[in-house]
Amino acid sequence: FLSCTEMRAMMSLRLEKGFGSWLREFSPDYTPLETGLDRFVNYDKDAAFIGKAAAINEKAQGVSRRLATFIVDAEDTDANADEPIWKDDQLLGFVTSGGYAHWTQKSVAIGFIPPDMHIDGAQLEIEILGEKRPATLITEPLLTQV
């Protein structure tokens, strides 16, 4: 069994790796294409499966949101969940997970934004406790070894 401390360490490491978690980033509310799990969907499978038609349609039409990871200039408090993500005073999306990444000593957030904004180095803002904080989108994990 994991203690509370071990669980918090695991959650911190998953943020550094850009890994989502069940019910935060992966749930029935989000599709595989939105979360990057579409690599596990066989769209060409001959057999029927629940949601096949919807998955094929979504792949053809595209998605309105995509999961992204951010480094946040959070100062003394970190994003946690449900914080708004902004660009030039336009609401783009929301945070699903966030916290302090101890290994890399950075504040990290994961959240959904429009796919056209999913560009490495994109400068956005995440509102934490009513204050918009600078956030940089990253497309590669902070932690690549361990």
Q: Tell me the pLDDT tens digit for each residue of 36-71.
A: 999 999 999 899 989 999 999 999 999 999 999 999
CATH number at residue 144: 3.30.1360.120
pLDDT of residue 116: 97
Is pTM beyond 0.85 here? Answer: yes
Q: Residue 88: which region, alpha, beta or left (left: phi > 0; alpha: psi -120 to 50)?
A: left
Residue 113 in tokens: 């934004």
Contacts of 89 (CB under 8 A, 6+ apart): none
pLDDT of residue 2: 60
pLDDT of residue 1: 54
Mean of pLDDT over the chain: 91
Residue 45 in tokens: 């499978």
Torsions phi, psi for 55 (to 5 deg): -65, -45
pLDDT at 4 exceeding the cut of 70: no
Q: Which amino acid is at 22?
A: W
pLDDT of residue 20: 87
CA 56 to chain centre: 23
Number of domains in the chain: 1
Query: Whole domain around residue 1: which residue ranges?
Result: 1-146
pLDDT at 11 exceeding the cut of 90: no
